[in-house]
């Protein structure tokens, strides 16, 4: 179940980043390389970033080496390697390839009962 949800978050980022909002908690926090931190109290916020016209959608992704750790009865941590591609920028001929170790934490939302993403960290390699 967690693997399917995590994969779905990448798939929506290949189309419309705003669709990620249905998968995340209000206090969701993303940590990226270079010290970039996006959450509800950052400038810009995570949700503002998802709505930005500057967002460049991914064109594909592949998750591998997936491991899941259950956290109590209402959450899980998924860790994996990802290779994601974006369309070429400027005059490049080849797609931009991003490789990272990812760790995401999912927890059950008390109101909806759905598992939602509350934390994600990407470490490029």
Domains annotated on the chain, with CATH: 2-124 (3.10.450.50)
The one-digit pLDDT tens for each residue of the chain (125 residues) are 899 999 999 999 999 899 999 999 999 999 998 899 999 999 999 999 999 998 889 999 999 999 999 998 899 999 999 999 998 877 777 888 999 999 999 999 989 999 999 999 999 99
For residue 23, what pLDDT is reported? 97
> Apex CA 121: angle with CA 101 and CA 115, to 5°?
105
């Amino acid at each position: 179940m967690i693997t399917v949800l995590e994969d779905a978050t990448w798939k929506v980022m290949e189309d419309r980043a705003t669709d990620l909002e249905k998968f995340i908690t209000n206090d969701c926090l993303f940590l990226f390389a270079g010290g970039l931190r996006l959450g509800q109290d950052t400038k810009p916020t995570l949700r503002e970033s998802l709505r930005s016209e500057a967002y460049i959608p991914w064109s594909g992704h592949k998750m591998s080496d997936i491991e899941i750790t259950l956290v109590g009865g209402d959450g899980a941590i998924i860790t994996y390697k990802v290779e994601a591609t974006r369309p070429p920028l400027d005059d490049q001929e080849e797609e931009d390839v991003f490789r990272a170790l990812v760790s995401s934490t999912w927890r059950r939302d008390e109101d909806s009962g759905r598992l939602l993403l509350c934390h994600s960290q990407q470490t490029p390699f």
